[in-house]
Structure 1
Amino acid sequence: MPWWPKKKRSEPEALTSISDPVLASYFGVTPSFAGVQVSENTVLGIPAMFRAVSLVAGTIAGLPLRTLRDTADGQRQRVRSWLDDPAGPNGQTVFGWKETIVAHLMLHGETYLAHLFNNAGAVIGAVPIHPLAVTEQEPTRGVGDLGRPLPRWTVALADGTTRTFTPATMTKILGLSLDGVHGLSVIEAGRNSMGTTIAGDRAAAKMFGNGALMSGLVTPEEDVDEDEAKEIKAGLDKKTAGWRHNGEVAFVNRKLKFTPWTMSAEDAQFLGSRAFQVEEIARWTGVPPHLLMQTEKQTSWGTGVAEQNRGLARFTLAGWTGRIEQSLSRLLRSPLFCEFDFAGMERPTPEQEIRLLLEQVQAGLITVNEARKIRNLPPIDGGDVLRNTPQSDPANAASGVEGVLAP
């Protein structure tokens, strides 16, 4: 006889369903009302969402991250710091580093940066850690910190061990937060909306994959038993189901009457739902629909779209860059701070820029050489003197410097 006790067959098995929300949350998968799991991978499988995240993250990554300090004369001076190569020579590129932390912020509402130190204990870099690899620990009381709780984070390493971080060794950048401790994840907040989108995509794929392109009722003109009916159905499905057989002619050796059931994609509202999902993603991410390649409801040209592109920097990108700037500035020694440079993104057209430079030169705001430097032109003799042309004849004043600003 075996040494273990036998279990009666009538006793229920202690099993956990794979659809259990507790189990799903353990693996970082969030259920939705649509019955599909919403996770990082499934959300990025939505074309509009992938485009929105890559556009915002890539645009911010392309902005120069300057380290600055204020001088005694009220000017801002650029200085070098570890932010010029934040991940170090063996890590990511500067572009990839910024792109990663913005993507983490957008999807998970939080970004974790593990500090790199030199032998003197100074911060010389920061490595992005995926938010799903970080576990929040119970806060402890910091010594000499007025008794405020000191947060701790545990990270699972590749060798199976764990490492505990504190604010002295890791920086946490928060997105939109309700308590100042945890950031709101768009995956969590929009799980039902995005779950509906994912379910719609799967339904559309199943419609084409299972042969809804030609569906209907088959009635044999002779009596058949159940087994023969199953054989007939299997044979028809094999010859007609799926997109591979769309438009083909099926040959059968029985007398069958086929009554089609017509259900177009428009009737099933797949096309309408897929167009609406772009607007939903635009609301969640703040990216204008025309940048998500939806231009049916507006023109792709004109000042309206140009103003929307400028609004992207003001109303969407500035919120992400502001969080990153203030968090990273804390890692720099005083009085240094960092800022993203939006000058290149907000730069006007060449025609508008030349006209503005001419007006600024004639108003005595900048010199000719300063204007030429903006246009990437070399300086000229006598171009460092401010001009002050009378306002009575602006046409003649502009013609006097138009030539020196031309490429």
Structure 2
Amino acid sequence: MSFWHRWFNGTSAAGLPRASYQSSGGGIIINTARQLEQLLRAGNGTASGQSVTPDSAMRVAAVYACVRIISGAVATLPLDVKRRVDERTRQDASEDPLWQLLRRKPNRWQTPSQFRRMMQTHLLLRGNAYALIVRSRGRVQELLPLHPDRVTMEQSDDLSIRYIYERKRGDKVSFKQSEVFHLVGLTLDGVTGVSVISYARETIGLSLAMENHGATVFKNGARVSVVLKHPGKLGKEGLEFLRASLDEYRSGGDSEGKALVLEEGMETAPLAMTAEDAQWLEGRKFSRNDIAMFFGVPPHMIGDTEKSTSWGSGIEQQSIGFVSYTLEDHLTTWEESINRDLIPDNSDLYARFNRAALVKGDIKARWDAHVKALQWGVYSPNEVRALEDKNPRDGGDVFYPPPNTAGTPDKENGERDELAQAA
């Protein structure tokens, strides 16, 4: 393991060559040649004049909320490793090292939820997520995350794939497909995923521009609520004195809430909100809804409850739609990628999320499901207790016979009918 530690830490962070480009929205740190090329080609620019990158996009509240909700759901759902005993029987493979890796310790510094949340965030913002697979004697020992901005994929003519990773000190190393755990989002070529940020760049750039505009308005006190009328004409000296007085008055502090003293017959007249101000507020709502649409998150989950019936018949149906059409897509991606990259082809193991945990917060729905599972013989009492993290009880491993609703008599009912006919 020390080899990989030295490999990833060939140079200290203090000695890294770094470049910084200062934009109106803050500093952009350039660590890779790809980031520099995108900046020089204005690949992140938008019609609004904002530079949109995965990092700057996270400053938009709607983007941050969508990423937080989806990545949090993937991170907190229980991920089980099962073994196929036969065609009908499955059992937990908690003794297998892969179970320990995915449920206890994916690497030396991250918990399972931290690892999954980070990988899912990379997938949402960049379309791909990578982790180096560290094997020993044929078994996976660690998953070391690789930043997507430093990874380049190449597919050869024989369809084999290799990954080129650029280390912090600038040199590159190549990995085979079997050495990388790769999560792929929506893809157009079947190899690499496309970034939501790339296609939502204009919408996110507009939102960033409106945020900057609003911040500037409040900073400068530029939204005019009153107009000052002067009966004559102010000279240069008087105009400068008035501007200085207004700047001091609008600076807040001790002047906040006090009256404005006017001289030389000046009067005030109120102004209503302008059409531009109203359009700005309405534009922020449209931008928020568009971002939620790009990520597949119902608007009410990011705080917009004005259109709670836009997906299904209400907020409850929207939540069900989020699980069925958005979250299920990401869960399936994780399961299939684990089965492909971390489990040998001839193995009887497979990974699966426990989707029943999605109703953990709804105690009524959870216990209604338990009752029906007991009634129909799906679960035994001890299996239900295990789902609730309770210890088993004596005699709790029995399965209750389901009620006879199919119209076919069971053996006992058949014998009873025969006795009735004989009588």
TM-score normalised according to structure 1 size: 0.76
1:163 equivalent in alignment to 2:173 = yes
In the comparison of the two structures, how many residue pairs are matched?
A: 363
**1:31-70 alignment, distance < 5 Å:** 31-70=45-84
Aligned to 2:106: 87
CA distance in 2, matches of 1:230, 1:165: 69
Q: Answer whether contact 2:200 2:291 (CA < 8 A) is retained.
A: no
Partner of 1:274: 284
TM-score, scaled relative to structure 2: 0.73
Is 2:195 aligned against 1:185? Answer: yes
Shift of 1:222: 5.1
Counterparts of 2:161 and 2:259, CA distance in 1:
71
The one-letter amino acid of 1:271's match is L
Judged with a 3 Å threshold, the aligned counterparts in structure 2 of structure 1 residues 261 and 312 are, in CA distance, closer, same or farther, namely same
Quick check: 1:266–1:272 contact (8 Å CA) kept in 2? Answer: no
CA distance in 1, matches of 2:338, 2:60: 31
Deviation for aligned residue 1:270 = 2.8
| Gap change, CA 1:362 and 1:319, over 3 Å in 2 | closer
State the Cα distance separating 1:55 from its structure 2 match: 0.8
| Other-structure match for 1:97 | 115
Match of 2:354 among 337, 341, 344: 341
Instruction: State the shift of 1:44 in Å.
Output: 1.1
Compared CA separation, residues 117 and 360, structure 1 to 2 (3 A): closer
Distance 1:385 1:312 in 2: 36
What amino acid is the match of 1:341? N
Instruction: Give the 3 Å change call, closer, same or farther, for CA 285–390 of structure 1 in structure 2.
Output: closer
Unpaired segments ≥5 residues, structure 1: 1-15, 142-146, 393-407
Note the aligned Cα RMSD (angstroms): 3.5
> 37-46 vs 101-110, which deviates more?
37-46
Displacement, 1:346?
Answer: 3.8
Assess, with a 3 A threshold, how the Cα gap between structure 1 residues 180 and 230 changes in structure 2: closer, same or farther. Answer: farther
Q: 1:248 aligns with which of 246, 255, 258?
A: 258
Change (3 A) 1:215 1:233: farther
Q: Distance in 2 between matches of 1:204 and 1:265?
A: 15
Residue 173 of structure 1 aligns to a residue in which SS? strand
Question: How many Å separate the matches in 1 of 2:128 and 2:323?
Answer: 21
Which of 176, 200, 211 is the matching residue for 2:210?
200
* Secondary structure class of the residue paired with 1:268: helix
Counterpart of 1:133 in structure 2 is: 150
Q: 1:206 to 1:161 in 2, by over 3 A?
A: same
Distance in structure 1 (CA, Å) of the matches to 2:264 and 2:242: 12
Rounded Cα–Cα distance in structure 2 between residues aligned with 1:362 and 1:18: 64
Q: 1:124 aligns with which of 141, 153, 173?
A: 141
Range moving further from structure 2, 204-213 or 49-58:
204-213
Give 1:165 shift: 2.9
Partner-residue secondary structure (3-state), 1:112: strand
Q: Which amino acid aligns with 1:155?
A: E
Listed as ranges, the matches of 1:287-306 within 5 Å are: 287-298=297-308, 304-306=314-316
Offset, 1:284: 0.9
Structure with the higher fraction of residues in helix conformation: 2
Quote the sequence identity (%): 28
Report how far residue 58 of structure 1 moved. Answer: 0.6
1:218, distance to aligned residue in structure 2 (A): 4.7
In structure 2, relative to structure 1, the CA distance for the partners of 1:212 and 1:74 (3 Å cut) is: same
